[in-house]
């Protein structure tokens, strides 16, 4: 196995034994980027030279030091909606084509403090709105398992970088499934932590009450390592949880004996690809052999989740994206007649179609006369969905579901019908509505060789249980650090 193909914990072993240097590791992944990035287009911008320089600096420092932290010297990528001082942060939007933030996202600060080496900023759906990364204003990221298929979205670039071994790990953001769905489509591990666990400071807001940052990794153990680094209270984020620090690797390998895993028929409804269903049934069987008990659970109101999600997320987005007006930063239209025209021209030219659609939907849902019917109603449905999850987790520890109804679809296949695109999020959005954590891990391949994702959900702050459940399956099934048939030179 090539160096760039390894997991973080494998690289850690080599670095700790001084068998390789940070420069070796970084050079390996930079070479890999040079070889395959033009085929996958995972990154919007690259910092490979700065990364190599940082690697050399770190090697010099590490030679005189016995201990290093778990992410020290590990090259990674950030979704381009996380602010990086001195590095363009575009959100894959024309609106921020030249935006150079004078501040860092809290997660970037934390990873820098850990000694992480930033390789670049990854492609995404514009302002994280989309399920295929086709809404990027700059490029189409391709699924390394089939270059004609989408990587999922909105964190498609982050998922692909890990799947194509052009980063050891990446961060994405998940508002309605934007980490878990692309993880599923690309055959990697992707986790959305409990709302409030990871600081949102410096994450360009899409829907504030739903957004959460999380990792993409090659296996579950790596997921725990990255989580360790990014979780923690941040006084700059009022919704950040102030809890004692957890080491997520501690309980990782405890097994699932006696664990109650719930299965709800509402997650196995119409439109579910048969191979996805089969693959999940196989996973259930594996859990049984590992000593977990499988229990039937059911939801009363899951059907309402998607509508509520699109109302809440669009309403918040319409307000969050109002600040892009061409006055203080970012794009400004070249020609305009007066102030109002400046606003309208700038926003109409700067935003892509999907973003404008969501702003329109959200503005409508909040406007006079419709607030009660749409926005308020959705916030009430949120209470009901939360209660549904509470009741379900009264009967099981973990809920097992498909991450998405299908495996990755073709590029261009769903772009003409927004509603059809929205329906691909049906299994992921209820999680954001309830604020609970969820992880997607690979659980097989379909008949075309495309990865299938299994989603594990748990109550608020059940990350340890989720990771241990995921690790047990991964370990038993051997479905770990999957390699897309991308070759070494594309």
Binders of another protein among residues 422 to 441 (CB under 8 A) are 422, 433-435
Cβ of residue 390: shortest distance to another protein, in angstroms?
Answer: 11
- What's the per-residue H, E or C state across 73-90? CCEEEEECCECECCECCC
Q: Which residue has the tokens 């620090």?
A: 245
Position 268 contacts another protein (CB under 8 A): no
Position 102 contacts another protein (CB under 8 A): yes
Tell me which of 383, 391, 448, 488 binds another protein, using CB under 8 A.
383
Position 86 contacts another protein (CB under 8 A): no
Position 60 contacts another protein (CB under 8 A): no
Tell me which of 50, 255, 343, 490 binds another protein, using CB under 8 A.
343
Q: Which is nearer to another protein, 43 or 304 (CB)?
A: 304
| Residues 104-138 as b or e (16 or more Cβ within 10 Å = b) | bbbbbbbbeebbbbbbbbbbbbbbbbbbbbbbbbb
Task: Determine whether 79 is an active site residue.
Answer: yes
Tell me which of 235, 253, 288, 487 binds another protein, using CB under 8 A.
235
Position 45 contacts another protein (CB under 8 A): no
Cβ of residue 226: shortest distance to another protein, in angstroms?
Answer: 20
Position 342 contacts another protein (CB under 8 A): yes
Pairing label, strands 451-457, 212-217: unpaired
Position 332 contacts another protein (CB under 8 A): yes
Burial status of residue 469 (CB atoms within 10 A of its CB: 0-12, 13-18, 19 or more) = buried
Catalytically annotated residue among 6, 79, 149, 414:
79
Q: Which is nearer to another protein, 188 or 366 (CB)?
A: 366
- Any idea how long the chain is? 490
**By CB under 8 A, which span of 182-190, 287-295, 362-370, 466-474 interacts with another protein?**
362-370
* Tokens representing residue 100 in the block: 């150079």
Edge-first strand order for the sheet with 169-174 is 43-46, 117-122, 75-79, 169-174, 212-217, 189-192, 438-445, 451-457, 398-402, 260-264, 293-297
Position 310 contacts another protein (CB under 8 A): yes
Position 99 contacts another protein (CB under 8 A): yes
Task: Determine whether 45 is an active site residue.
Answer: no
Tell me which of 69, 209, 251, 477 binds another protein, using CB under 8 A.
209
Tell me which of 94, 139, 377, 475 binds another protein, using CB under 8 A.
377
Sequence-distant (≥ 6) Cβ neighbours of residue 56 within 8 angstroms:
22, 23
**By CB under 8 A, which span of 10-18, 58-66, 307-315, 473-481 interacts with another protein?**
307-315
> Which among 165, 174, 255 has a CA at the least distance from the CA of 217?
165
Distance CA 461, CA 483 (A): 31
Position 238 contacts another protein (CB under 8 A): yes
CB 114 within 8 A of CB 71: yes
Tell me the site size for another protein, rule CB under 8 A: 95
Tell me which of 46, 308, 411, 454 binds another protein, using CB under 8 A.
308
Cβ of residue 156: shortest distance to another protein, in angstroms?
Answer: 20
Position 376 contacts another protein (CB under 8 A): yes
**By CB under 8 A, which span of 245-253, 271-279, 309-317, 478-486 interacts with another protein?**
309-317
Task: Determine whether 178 is an active site residue.
Answer: yes
Peptide bond preceding 188: is omega within 30 degrees of 0, i.e. cis? no
Sequence-distant (≥ 6) Cβ neighbours of residue 372 within 8 angstroms:
none
Position 218 contacts another protein (CB under 8 A): no
Rounded to the nearest angstrom, the gap between the alpha carbon of residue 339 and the centroid of all alpha carbons in its chain is: 38
**Run of H or E residues at 48:** helix 48-62
Position 103 contacts another protein (CB under 8 A): yes
**By CB under 8 A, which span of 69-77, 174-182, 337-345, 390-398 interacts with another protein?**
337-345
Distance CA 121, CA 115 (A): 17
Q: How far from each other are the two terminal CA atoms of the chain, in whole angstroms?
A: 18
Catalytically annotated residue among 136, 178, 314, 462:
178
Cβ of residue 326: shortest distance to another protein, in angstroms?
Answer: 6
Distance CA 420, CA 289 (A): 38
**By CB under 8 A, which span of 42-50, 330-338, 400-408, 439-447 interacts with another protein?**
330-338
**By CB under 8 A, which span of 5-13, 46-54, 111-119, 331-339 interacts with another protein?**
331-339
Q: Which residue has the tokens 């970037």?
A: 108
Q: Which residue has the tokens 């400071």?
A: 201
**By CB under 8 A, which span of 130-138, 223-231, 324-332, 464-472 interacts with another protein?**
324-332
Tell me which of 340, 394, 447, 478 binds another protein, using CB under 8 A.
340
Q: Which is nearer to another protein, 2 or 420 (CB)?
A: 420
Position 139 contacts another protein (CB under 8 A): no
Position 360 contacts another protein (CB under 8 A): yes
Ordered DSSP codes for 202-270: TBPPS-TTT-EEEEEESSHHHHHHHHHHHBS--TT-TT--------TTTTTTS--TT-EEEEEGGGS-T
Tell me which of 110, 347, 414, 468 binds another protein, using CB under 8 A.
347
Position 318 contacts another protein (CB under 8 A): yes
**Run of H or E residues at 471:** helix 463-477
The number of beta carbons lying within 10 Å of the beta carbon of residue 66 is 6
The set of catalytic residues is 79, 154, 178
């Amino acid at each position: 196995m090539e160096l760039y193909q390894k997991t973080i914990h494998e690289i850690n072993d080599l670095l700790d034994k001084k068998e390789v240097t940070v420069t070796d590791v970084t050079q390996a992944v930079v070479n890999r980027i040079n070889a395959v990035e033009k085929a996958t287009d995972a990154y919007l911008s690259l910092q490979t030279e700065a990364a190599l320089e940082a690697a050399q600096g770190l090697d010099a420092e590490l030679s005189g030091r016995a201990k290093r932290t778990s992410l020290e010297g590990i090259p990674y990528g950030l979704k381009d909606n996380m602010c990086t001082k001195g590095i363009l942060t575009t959100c894959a939007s024309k609106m921020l084509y030249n935006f150079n933030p004078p501040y860092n996202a809290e997660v970037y600060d934390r990873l820098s403090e850990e000694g992480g080496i930033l390789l670049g900023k990854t492609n995404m759906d514009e302002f994280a709105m989309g399920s295929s990364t086709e809404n990027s204003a700059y490029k189409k990221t391709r699924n390394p398992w089939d270059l004609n298929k989408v990587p999922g979205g909105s964190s498609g670039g982050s998922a692909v970088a890990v799947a194509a071994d052009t980063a050891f790990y990446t961060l994405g953001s998940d508002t309605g499934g934007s980490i878990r769905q692309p993880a599923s489509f690309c055959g990697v591990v992707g986790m959305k932590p409990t709302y409030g666990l990871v600081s949102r400071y410096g994450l360009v807001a899409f829907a504030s009450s739903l957004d959460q940052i999380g990792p993409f990794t090659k296996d579950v153990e790596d997921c725990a390592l990255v989580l360790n680094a990014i979780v923690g209270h941040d006084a700059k984020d009022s919704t950040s949880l102030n809890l004692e620090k957890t080491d997520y690797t501690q309980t990782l390998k405890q097994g699932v004996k006696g664990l109650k895993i719930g299965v709800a028929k509402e997650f196995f409804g119409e439109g579910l690809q048969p191979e996805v269903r089969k693959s999940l049934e196989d996973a259930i069987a594996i859990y049984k052999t590992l000593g977990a008990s499988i229990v039937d659970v059911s939801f009363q109101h899951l059907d309402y989740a998607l509508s509520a999600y699109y109302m809440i997320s669009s309403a918040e987005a319409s307000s969050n994206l109002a600040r892009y007006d061409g006055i203080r930063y970012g794009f400004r239209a070249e020609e305009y007649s007066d102030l109002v025209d400046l606003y309208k021209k700038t926003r109409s030219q700067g935003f892509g179609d999907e973003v404008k659609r969501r702003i329109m939907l959200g503005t409508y849902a909040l406007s006079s006369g419709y607030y009660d019917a749409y926005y308020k109603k959705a916030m009430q449905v949120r209470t009901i969905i939360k209660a549904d999850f509470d009741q379900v987790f009264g009967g099981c520890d973990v809920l097992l579901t498909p991450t998405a109804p299908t495996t990755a679809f073709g590029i261009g296949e769903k772009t003409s019908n927004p509603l059809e695109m929205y329906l691909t999020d049906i299994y992921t959005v209820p999680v954001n509505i309830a604020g609970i954590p969820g992880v997607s891990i690979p659980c097989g391949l379909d008949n075309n060789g495309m990865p299938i994702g299994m989603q594990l959900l748990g109550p608020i702050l059940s990350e340890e249980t989720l990771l241990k459940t995921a690790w047990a399956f991964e370990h038993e099934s051997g479905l770990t650090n999957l390699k897309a048939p991308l070759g070494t030179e594309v």
